[in-house]
């Protein structure tokens, strides 16, 4: 996997809305916070557009994201919010410039579409983390916002958490992939479908009927996506719904029952997803998962490699400069020699 360059003060970051509409009032706290980090925030031209529930029509949202992908000065793209709509524009996007000059893609929920697509096709790490909509509006410090800053600026993500009920002890090592369960389910059979073999799968969800959680888990099981995992991490399963006739199990119990015959470690209660403490996860990065009785850990390894094309470019530039310098010296020498003759 390729690790985009970490941020430093003075870098430019972009904010775009790929899904649901968002207002200036909802985004302003995030702009102020990121500016306090020393970053220059560039907002998408169509960030505050609105067409029904979307942040503008499909073409407008795709165009906004495309400009950010293509702009070499933008070092990270922060998606303003989730909702629904990113899947409607994914096939319009051209990632060729992004692949040559990588940058962080940040977001969660509906942004799972981008995480899965980029991980599968380009082997570039992305960041499952809080978004501008969730930045505190009162200027207070948020654990998830501070953690986002830390990871973007290059600190290693290292989490020690209380082991949730129904967890299964064990150790695992593998790349972390995943995101919102409903979005992963919607990507099944498409060009953006997730690949899970030998990986640590993270899932979370919000506001779903319990029977639908079961339906989606059975889909993952029948499609082979649960069979050869290195491990499973379950985040927030928030505000679940039930029918008049109860389903009879919680979301966590449904998940535990679906994977009960597999041997890999399972961690419930990880602080990520549609919850207050939404800790960043580096998708595509290798991590160590240690699930024990009382306390568990998820420790991401150091970045694996930077973009080789960027590396080559950085090496070639000084070589070209030196070559051009000496060529100019030889040209001046021969011109002067010619004048003397």
Q: At what angle do helices 251-258 and 210-222 cross, to 10 degrees?
A: 20
- State both tokens at 293: 């009785």
**Which one of the listed residues 63, 109, 144, 182 is annotated catalytic?**
109
Q: Say whether 212 is catalytic.
A: no
Return the number of other C-beta atoms located less than 10 Å from residue 93's C-beta: 18
Residues whose CB is less than 8 angstroms from the CB of residue 113 and which lie 6 or more positions away in sequence, other chains included? 86, 87, 90, 183, 187, 192
Residues 169/239, Cβ–Cβ less than 8 Å: no
* Strands lying side by side in the sheet with 266-268: 158-162, 295-300, 286-291, 170-180, 200-206, 231-238, 266-268
SS3 159: strand
Residue 338 has, within 13 A of its CA and on its CB side, a CA count of 6
Closest CA to 153 of 34, 30, 29, 311: 34
* Cβ atoms of residues 306 and 203 within 8 Å: no
* Closest to 287 in 3D by CA, of 297, 273, 296: 297
Q: Per the residue annotation, which of 63, 116, 186, 204 is the catalytic one?
A: 204
Tell me, yes or no, if 274 is annotated catalytic: yes
Q: Are 45 and 17 in contact (CB under 8 A)?
A: no
**Catalytic annotation, pick one of 117, 252, 274, 303:** 274
Three-state secondary structure call for residue 77 = strand
Active-site residues, by number, are: 109, 204, 274
């Amino acid at each position: 996997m390729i690790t985009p360059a970490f941020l430093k003060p003075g870098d430019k970051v972009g904010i775009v809305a790929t899904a649901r509409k968002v207002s200036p009032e909802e985004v302003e706290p995030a702009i102020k916070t990121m500016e306090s980090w020393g970053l220059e925030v560039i907002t998408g031209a169509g960030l505050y557009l609105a067409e029904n529930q979307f942040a503008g029509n499909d073409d407008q949202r795709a165009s906004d994201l495309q400009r950010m992908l293509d702009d070499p000065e933008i070092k990270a793209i922060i998606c303003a919010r989730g909702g629904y709509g990113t899947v409607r524009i994914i096939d319009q996007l051209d990632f060729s410039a992004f692949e040559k000059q990588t940058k962080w893609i940040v977001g969660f929920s509906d942004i799972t579409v981008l995480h899965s697509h980029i991980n599968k096709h380009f082997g570039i790490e992305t960041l499952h983390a809080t978004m501008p909509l969730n930045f505190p509006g009162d200027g207070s410090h948020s654990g998830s916002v501070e953690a986002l800053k830390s990871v973007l600026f290059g600190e290693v993500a290292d989490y020690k958490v209380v082991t949730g009920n129904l967890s299964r002890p064990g150790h695992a090592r593998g790349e972390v992939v995943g995101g919102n369960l409903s979005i992963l389910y919607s990507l099944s059979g498409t060009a953006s479908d997730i690949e899970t073999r030998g990986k640590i799968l993270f899932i979370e969800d919000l506001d779903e009927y319990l029977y639908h959680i079961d339906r989606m888990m059975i889909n993952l099981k029948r499609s082979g996506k649960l069979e050869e995992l290195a491990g499973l991490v379950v985040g927030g399963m928030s505000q679940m719904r039930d029918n008049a006739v109860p389903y009879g199990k919680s979301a966590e119990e449904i998940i535990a029952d679906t994977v009960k015959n597999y041997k890999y470690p399972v961690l419930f209660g990880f602080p990520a997803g549609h919850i207050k403490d939404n800790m960043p996860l580096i998708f595509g990065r290798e991590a160590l998962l240690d699930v024990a009785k009382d306390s568990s850990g998820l420790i991401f390894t150091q970045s694996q490699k930077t973009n080789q094309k960027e590396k080559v470019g950085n090496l070639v530039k000084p070589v070209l400069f030196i070559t051009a310098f000496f060529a100019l010296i030889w040209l001046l020498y021969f011109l002067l020699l010619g004048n003397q003759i």
